[in-house]
Amino acid sequence: MNPSAGGGRALKLLPEVERAFAARGIAHRTVQTEALAHGIREVRESAARGEIPVVMSGDGLVGQIGGVLAGGDVPLGVMPGGRGNDLARVLGIPKEVEGAADVVAAGAVRKIDVGEVNGHRFLGIASCGFDSEANRLANEAELIRGNLVYLYAGLRTLASWRPARFTVTLDGERYQFTGYTVAAANNKAYGGGMFLAPDAELDDGKLDVVIIGEIGKLRYLANLPTVFKGTHVKKEGVTVLRGAEVEIEADRAFAVYADGDHLADLPATVRVLPRALGMIAPPVAPE
């Protein structure tokens, strides 16, 4: 459990989580992380002992721990405790403690893909360009609670944004464009419920590559609310491609953020590790 996750939300909810686990007969012990390296070390040691890690934090720690466990036989559980909780949202894990504890107690495991950018693993969406500055500002805005931080960061970034020239090579096919953002999506959502890649699937072995081209700032601002419904992909200037590996370059330096954290810098290669991680999650309903 990351005690600073969600502006202290995780720490506040910890007693309730421990009571919920005890009520369901889940034998457990609690570790409060001191830093990312500490959390990773604890998970590796617990997995080696045959324990099942359950992370109570935001998407950043969940993504890093998921990357550590990828390729192994130990599944990962999640108790949503951050600001965004987008992986839990898409997996159908309830935000409230009781519902999330029920999922952990049921123990159903679903295999999902894991993304990798320049060797660093993630579970959600790796993005750069406009998103690089917006993510940086969101991470620095410690006094803004909840999902408002993402709106604040987006508006701040838009005020000073100038378009960039990107080169995207997807499974060997090259594209060039001027615009805002390139995002390689393993998950549908990021930023606390923004469905940037509404058709992305966590277990299809593909990345949905979302390209936002050159449009006016007023139009960008007008389209921003549609991202929460995923309908922006139908708008002019938005292109969605799909593939297993994408190389991204730009005419200026950009950080690549994924699961809310700075994982790499351009130029970057993003690829997918198919069904590499077991997640404790509600079973997928048959179609």
Phi, psi of 25 (to 5 degrees): 70, 25
Q: How many CB atoms lie within 10 A of CB 219?
A: 12
Catalytic residue flag (residue 261): yes
Alpha-carbon separation of residue 156 from 131, 138, 149, 216, 245 (angstroms): 12, 10, 11, 16, 31
Closest CA to 212 of 197, 225, 200: 197
The CATH number of 121-274 is 2.60.200.40
234 CA to centre of own chain: 23
CATH label, 5-113, candidates 3.40.50.10330, 3.40.50.2300, 3.60.15.10, 3.30.565.10 = 3.40.50.10330
Taking only the tens of pLDDT, the chain with its 287 residues reads 998 887 888 899 999 999 999 999 999 999 999 988 999 999 999 999 999 999 999 899 999 999 999 999 999 999 999 888 999 999 999 999 999 999 999 999 999 999 999 999 999 999 999 999 888 887 776 655 555 677 777 788 888 899 999 999 999 999 999 999 999 999 999 988 899 999 999 999 999 999 999 999 999 888 888 999 999 999 999 999 999 999 999 999 999 999 989 999 999 999 999 999 999 999 875 54
59, 86, 208, 261: the active-site residue: 261
Segments making up each domain of the chain, as ranges: 5-113, 121-274
Q: How many CB atoms lie within 10 A of CB 118?
A: 15
